[in-house]
Amino acid sequence: MKAPSLAIDVHHALTSELRDRIVENVRTRIQEQSYRLLSPEHLRGLAQLDTGGPPIVSLYLQLTPERRSGRAWHSAFSALTHTLSQTMDRAGRTAAEADIQEIKRALIDQLPELGRGAAFFACRERGIWHQIALPIPLPDRIHVASRPYLRPLLRSWGRSDRMLLALLSREQSRFLISHLGSVEEIYRVGGQRIRGMLTDRIPRDRRDALANKLLKAEAKALASIAEMIGREFETSHLLLCAPPDMSAAFRDHLSKLSLTRLLPFETSIHASPAEVGAAAAPMQEQIRARAERELVDRLSEAAPAAVSAGTQETLDCLCEGRVLILIADDSYVARGSHCRHCQGLFEATQLSSCPICGGAELETVDDLVEAALQQALERNAQITFVRDPAARSAIAAPLRALLRY
């Protein structure tokens, strides 16, 4: 699918109506039903889904090149859905069966062009249907419950994992979003036809002044669009590829915050999204590694009251809505408990009553990290994974947090 585009020139200034239309276009693009990368807003919506009864089928299927050729994915799909008959009773299976068939039809119709796999969340009874292209290979998995199984997605949701790539030139400018190695073009802006406007009848010195004025107006509009797209996708950084004069004019109109997150990179203005992604990858890897180191420093330098010390304290703070940034050791896997009454999460699995509210409505959660991530999303906390071994040992507990208060 082609990215929406528009032209900004002397005849099409960036008015507030046009600004609204761009935001509208970007949001529509995010919400398209076919295979799309996931926006933070979309993920928060998924995290809030709870049918309270009818099952949601969550299905993750890897789509390696081997599986894509012919219909090799069929047998993996069958094997996966077959595991349900061993783990579920007949009534549950029957309820899920219609949704599974629907997912299969969607895959037969069209495999996602993008990405290394696909995820589905379906419950026809409640009109729930989401299909998502996965930028990284996640293990095959099927899960049937009243809430969607989101951990694999949440895991790919670190703070420095989404970046805005801006390619600017006189003829056209392009905005792309990269998410864990997958790149999608979001917007394209046609440049000004400066040459045609600046005829020889205009004296050279005036021509230069006019060209300069046009460049500045365009850079201002492009900076404004970059800010809008960055906000919608909650990108952590802005990677910029532009000729020096455009780059300078563009920077002049960026917010202070965006300027601190801006880094240059080199690619061709005509490069495919995959080529742009490859050109940006080394810089992104550096950014991620540096972000982990900075986070570790922030943790160790913060006042004791501004951070949580251990895993259980982090879970307590999370439940109270005090967590600003949840920091998770990416390799950590453990079971835990969840209180249905106060939503408390606990490392302990053998609790007879809730340590917070005293209630007895406790359930075991298979994956404490997933439950914590889900809660972080609901409470608008940021999520950061620590993957580097040195950084992992430096954070000293699998779950830590920087606190709001």
Interacting residues with Zn ion (CB under 5 A): 339, 341-342, 344, 354, 356-357, 359
Nearest of 129, 79, 76, 64 to residue 103 by alpha carbon: 129
Q: Smallest distance from the beta carbon of 335 to Zn ion, in angstroms?
A: 18
DSSP state at residue 127: T
Q: Smallest distance from the beta carbon of 48 to Zn ion, in angstroms?
A: 20
CA distance 85 to 208: 73
Q: Smallest distance from the beta carbon of 255 to Zn ion, in angstroms?
A: 42
Tokens at 35, concatenated: 């295979």
Q: Which is nearer to Zn ion, 202 or 351 (CB)?
A: 351
CA distance 37 to 60: 14
CA distance 324 to 381: 5
Q: Which is nearer to Zn ion, 38 or 339 (CB)?
A: 339
Contact 262, 251 (CB under 8 A): yes
Sheet holding 128-134, edge to edge: 128-134, 117-123, 56-62, 141-145
Q: Smallest distance from the beta carbon of 351 to Zn ion, in angstroms?
A: 10
The overall longest dimension of the chain from CA atoms, in Å, is 88
Q: Smallest distance from the beta carbon of 15 to Zn ion, in angstroms?
A: 52
Q: Which is nearer to Zn ion, 43 or 354 (CB)?
A: 354
- Phi and psi angles of residue 18, each rounded to the nearest 5 degrees, phi first: -65, -40
CA distance 181 to 285: 10
DSSP state at residue 305: G
Q: Smallest distance from the beta carbon of 354 to Zn ion, in angstroms?
A: 3
Contact 359, 342 (CB under 8 A): yes
Q: Which is nearer to Zn ion, 282 or 358 (CB)?
A: 358
Sign of torsion over alpha carbons 114, 118, 121, 127: positive
Residue 263 CA: distances (Å) to CA of 165, 237, 259: 10, 8, 9
Q: Smallest distance from the beta carbon of 350 to Zn ion, in angstroms?
A: 16
Q: Which is nearer to Zn ion, 293 or 341 (CB)?
A: 341
Exposure on the CB side of residue 48, measured as CA atoms within 13 A = 10
Q: Which is nearer to Zn ion, 306 or 356 (CB)?
A: 356
Q: Which is nearer to Zn ion, 33 or 352 (CB)?
A: 352
Strand partners, 180: none
Q: Which is nearer to Zn ion, 12 or 340 (CB)?
A: 340
Q: Smallest distance from the beta carbon of 266 to Zn ion, in angstroms?
A: 54
